[in-house]
Amino acid sequence: MSLLDEVVEVPRRTMTLFFLIDTSGSMAGNKIGAVNDAVVNVLPILNDISASNPDAEIKVAALEFSSGCSWLYSEPKLASDFIWQDVEAEGLTSLGEACEELASKLSKSGYMKSASGSFAPAIILLSDGGPTDDFYGGLGKLKANNWFKHAIKVAIAIGDDADLEVLKDFTGNMEAVFSVHNIDALKKIIRVVAVTSSQIGSKSSSAGDTTKQQQVIDEVKQSVEDIDGAEAASDASVDSSSYDDDWD
C-alpha cells in the first residue's frame, strides 16, 4: 500500500449564516416580497461558495420575528438543501424575543454542534421599524454569548422608519448598519451582504489580519456606493433625506 492510499479527506468546518427577518405588519407587501425574492436567489450562490471552499461548508438558518419568533427549519441546512418558504408579514416586532431565541441556539447543544468544528457565524438582521418588546433584555442575553461576540454582524435598515440606534446596538457598530429605500436596493444589499459575509466568514484567517467583521463592512461599503437607494448609515457625507422611500 502506498502513502497515497492512506490519504483521507479532512472534514471541513461549518460556517452558519443566520438571517433574522422582521415579519411585522409594516413589512407587508413589497418589502417582504423583496426579502423572499432576494433570499431565494442568493441561496444557489451560497451553495457555489460552499462547494468550492476547502475550509468550510456553509449552512443557512432563518429566524422570523413578529408577534413572537420562529425558525424556518429546526436546524441549519446546507444552502443546497434549504428550500426557502416565503414568509408573510403581520403582527408586532418581537426583536428582543428573537435575540433571546438566537442566543439559545448559539451553543454546542444548539446549532453550533458541527463534529468537525465551526467558524464563528455570520448574522444578518433585517428590520423596518423598532422593537415592541423588551429588546435590551433579550440583547443583553445575546451579547453574553461567546459565539455572538465573535460573529460577523450586519443590519439592514429597511426604509426611513427603521430604528438605526437599535440596529447599531445589535451589531455593536453603526458602520455595520446599511439603509435601503426601495425594492431593488433591498434585493441587491441582501445579496451583497449574504455573499460577502459567507465568503469571508467561511475562510481561515491569521491573527494579524483585519477582523472578519471589518473586512465585511469595508467590502459592503464599497458595493453600496453603486446601489441607488442604499447607503452606509455611518456615512456622514451622505444625506439620507435625499432618498425618498419607494416601495411600490
SS3 labels along the chain: CCHHHHCCCCCCEEEEEEEEEECCHHHCCHHHHHHHHHHHHHHHHHHHHHHCCCCEEEEEEEEEEECEEEECCCCCEEHHHCCCCCCCCCCCCCHHHHHHHHHHHCCCCCCCCCCCCECCCEEEEEECCCCCCCHHHHHHHHHCCHHHHHCEEEEEEECCCCCHHHHHHHHCCHHHEEEECEHHHHHHHHHHHHHHHHHHHCCCCCCCCCCHHHHHHHHHHHHHCCCCCEEECCCCCCCHHHCCCECC
Residue 8 has pLDDT above 50, yes or no: no
> What average pLDDT does this structure show over 2-31?
82
Residue 114 has pLDDT above 80, yes or no: no
Q: What is the pLDDT of residue 7?
A: 46
Q: What is the pLDDT of residue 99?
A: 98
> What average pLDDT does this structure show over 37-45?
97
Between these two residues, 115 and 111, which has the higher pLDDT value?
111
The overall average pLDDT reported for the chain is 92
Q: What is the pLDDT of residue 108?
A: 86
> What average pLDDT does this structure show over 3-21?
75
pTM listed for this prediction: 0.93
Residue 160 has pLDDT above 70, yes or no: yes
